[in-house]
Amino acid sequence: MKNKTSIQGSWASRWIFILAATGSAVGLGNIWKFPYITGENGGGAFVLVYLACILMVGIPIMMAEVFIGRRARKNPINALADVAEESESTKKWGVIGLMGMLSGVLIFSFYSVVGGWVLHYIKVMLTGEMIGVTSDAAGSAFGALLADPATLLGWHTLFSIMSIAVVAAGINKGIETATRIMMPALFVLLIILVGYAMTTGGFAQGWNFMFEFDFSKLTWNAALVALGHSFFTLSLGMGTIMAYGSYMTKDASIGKTVLAIGGLDTLVALVAGLAIFPIIFSNGMDPAAGPGLMFISLPVAFGQMAFGQLFGVLFFVLIGVAAWTSAISLLEPTVAFLVERLKIKRITAAVGLGIIVWGLGIACLGSFSFMSDVTFFGKNTFDFFDYITANIMLPLGGIFIALFAGWVVKDKFAQDELQLPSAVFKLWNISMKYTAPIAVAIVLYFLINPMQ
Ligand code: PHE
């Protein structure tokens, strides 16, 4: 199975792979979701559990995804099947890839709606209509946007087309070009924003909120959210990293590459929190405000700061780009599968899939208006898609990938790809066989049987 390349192409270099995978990992999860779920789950203790999940579960599983993809050089379904076959197991393992693709479709559906909110806020910042507004006014403006399906549809459509177009253009012309420029720029802007946050007078409070570990606030539900988020933020459990790994060159070290990706992603999440919480505290807002946090508190802050309009535009542009490079990666595994299995053109596959996810997205954007009555287990479509993917499907996909890498793939094949020092390989192997699956299973168990 060695030395082949994917029919889709391959990354120009190891750094391009790191950048593309970081482009996938760094997205709305880091800048929009992480701060608000940290707020909702009480801060510090949640952050600590999240970091533990990244290190003990996320990074090892990411290594597994990359090596499986790179070994087979095919889309996730066929990659799992081929790697299983090589280790004399059944090709039915490919079904994990199928579940992953379904997760990708569901995530894209609500992701593109939020991407649309971001695009709308670029416009809002450009026109300056948020200058000098109060928190209440900003809150009502966000509420009014959610209640306006026509506007949301326009932005959702634009965001979907942007994502589909890049995937349709292919690995090198599309995904590579889209990621390599904007990720460093995002990082620089976040640092500028942290710099601003330091001047607001709320920095110490924001810092303490994130890094004071008060375990009395930790619940099983919070642990579940932290674990689920570690999969979401690293783009794990659904085949994205596997697909990206299948375009990775053979000579690059998987361990180091994955550490770089995981490290960058975590850094961006923490820096985003340190940029956002101080602004929230210094404006007397509630850190547990939920999904509207970024769209309400940040515009207020920008509306008050010197050059706020400029920073506001740039900030939302960059969040848009971060979301965009992630959205692309949600589509890539399925597009690669369609191209390889049905032997159709990439553009046909991308547009076909695009129409499906765009349609599902309409149900998500309608969750706040014309479809607010439609609920699944008490949640509207938007929340339901978010909940079952991040909290259930990605962790489940992760367990199966770990079990697969630990128990099914023969050590010699895994080590042939990973090339780890033998002590590190043992650790990784234990994580695949036991630590990662058991951690996920315990948390899922307590989700289903909550402790009284
Ligand atoms: N990692 C992305 C984020 O943090 C979301 C994502 C999940 C992208 C799964 C691809 C696959 O926003």
Over residues 113-153, the pLDDT tens digits come to 999 999 999 999 999 888 888 888 888 999 999 999 999 99
DSSP category for residue 252: S
Spatial separation of the C-alpha atoms in residues 429 and 426, rounded to whole Å: 5
Give the Å distance between the CA of 218 and the centre of ligand 1: 25
Tell me the per-residue pLDDT of 233-285, one tens digit each, with 9 for 90 and over.
Answer: 999 999 999 999 999 988 888 999 999 999 999 999 998 888 888 887 887 77
> Mutate which of 113, 329, 334, 388 to test ligand 1's pocket (most atoms within 8 Å of Cβ)?
329
Q: Is residue 55 helix, strand or coil?
A: helix
358 pLDDT more than 90? yes
What separation in Å is there between the alpha carbon of 238 and the centre of ligand 1? 10
pLDDT at 95: 95
> Percent of the chain scored above 90 by pLDDT?
53
The b/e string for 34-49 (b: 16+ C-beta within 10 A; e otherwise) is bbbbbbbbbbbbbbbb
Q: Comparing 1-5, 57-61, 334-338, which segment has the lowest mean pLDDT? A: 1-5
Helices (H) and strands (E) in the chain, counts: 23, 2
- Residues 250/405, Cβ–Cβ less than 8 Å: no
In the DSSP assignment, the letter for residue 419 is: -
Does the beta carbon of 329 sit less than 6 angstroms from any atom of ligand 1? Answer: yes
- pLDDT for position 451: 58
Is ligand 1 within 6 A of the CB of residue 232? yes
User: For position 13, what pLDDT does the model report?
Assistant: 84
- Residue 237: the pLDDT is 92
The answer to whether residue 420 scores a pLDDT higher than 60 is yes
First to last CA, the chain: 51
Tell me which DSSP letter residue 170 carries: -
Sequence-distant (6+) residues with CB within 8 A of 6 are 73, 74, 246, 247, 336
Among 66, 117, 233, 386, the mutation site with the greatest number of ligand 1 atoms within 8 A of its Cβ is: 233
Q: Which atom of ligand 1 is nearest to the CA of 103?
A: 9
Q: In a 10 Å sphere around its CB, with 0-12 CB exposed, 13-18 middle and 19+ buried, how is residue 204 labelled? A: exposed
Residue 295: which residues within 8 A CB-CB, separation 6 or more?
117, 121, 138, 142, 145
pLDDT given at position 103? 95
pLDDT of residue 43: 85
Mutating to test ligand 1, I would choose from 110, 330, 389, 392 the residue with most ligand atoms within 8 A of its C-beta, which is 330
The answer, yes or no, to whether any atom of ligand 1 lies below 6 A from the CB of 233, is yes
Q: What is the pLDDT of residue 92?
A: 92
What's the whole-number mean pLDDT along residues 283-298?
78
Structure confidence at residue 99 (pLDDT): 95
Are 426 and 150 spatial neighbours (Cβ–Cβ below 8 Å)? no
Residue 443: band (very low, low, confident or very high) from pLDDT cuts 50, 70, 90:
confident
> For residue 448, is pLDDT > 80?
no
- Quote the mean pLDDT of the chain: 89
Task: Report pLDDT for 249.
Answer: 85
Give the separation between CA 333 and CA 97, rounded to whole angstroms: 9
For residue 380, report the phi and psi dihedrals to the nearest 5 degrees: -70, 170
Q: Where are the beta strands (DSSP E) in 231-348?
A: none
